[in-house]
Amino acid sequence: HGASSSGRTALVLALVARLTRTGSLVAWVDPGDRLDPASAANAGVHLARLLWLRGERRGRGTGALLPAVSAVGTLLGSGLFEAVVFDLAGIAAAARQRLPGTTWIRLQRLLEDQPSALVLIADGHVSHGPGGAALAMKAAALRWSGTAPARLLRGVGAEVREARRGLRGATVELQACS
């Protein structure tokens, strides 16, 4: 999880790119219609191996989440996908909190018998099971070249730390450079 421009989507796209390049199928459930297929392709995602379920841009409330949660459950239960990405970024925390309390337990139980991974993208911490991990991301330093006013952006940093409650996570800095 992390704020906008923290690198959260870029990190997940890198994972999806690696999986789809090796022939795996990945599903991306996107109730807020945030995924940009051109950016995914530029990140190395093999789009023919990606199932993208889109919501409507205005669908950022609980009404958009209920069918999305149902779709995630169906996809996980199918056993066809190496990973199912559930993109909750931009969905109001109040809407997420109105989901039934059993939502995450039900999805966790589906995962117990499947070879799939569930990857959540969100603005803040949502959930993780006993075998899962939560990564907190935040934007770090920008890397520039040249002198003002003709400077060029050469890279963007992101700090990633394991965010499980009760554990002290190490911080790792990632750099994306052109």
Q: What is the 3-state secondary structure (H, E, C) of the chain?
A: CECCCCCHHHHHHHHHHHHHHCCCCEEEEECCCCCCHHHHHHCCCCHHHEEEEECCCCCCCHHHHHHHHHHHHHHHHHCCCCEEEEECCCCCHHHHHCCCCCHHHHHHHHHHCCCCEEEEECCCCCCCCCCCCCEEEEEEEEEEECCCCCCEEEEEEEEEEECCCCCCCCEEEEEEEC
Q: Which long-range contacts (CB under 8 A, 24 or more apart) does 41-45 make?
A: 43/10, 43/13, 43/14, 43/16, 43/17, 44/13, 44/14, 44/17, 44/18, 45/13, 45/16, 45/17, 45/20
Percent of the chain residues past pLDDT 70, beyond the cut: 68
Q: Which CATH superfamily is domain 1-124 in?
A: P-loop containing nucleotide triphosphate hydrolases (3.40.50.300)
Q: Tens digit of pLDDT for each residue in 81-117?
A: 999 999 888 887 788 788 887 888 888 888 887 788 8
Where in the chain do CATH 3.40.50.300 domains reside?
1-124
Distance, in Å, from the CA atom of 26 to the CA atom of 48, rounded to the nearest integer, reads: 10
Residue 7: per-residue pLDDT: 63
Residue 177: per-residue pLDDT: 47
Contact 124, 163 (CB under 8 A): no
What's the pTM? Answer: 0.75
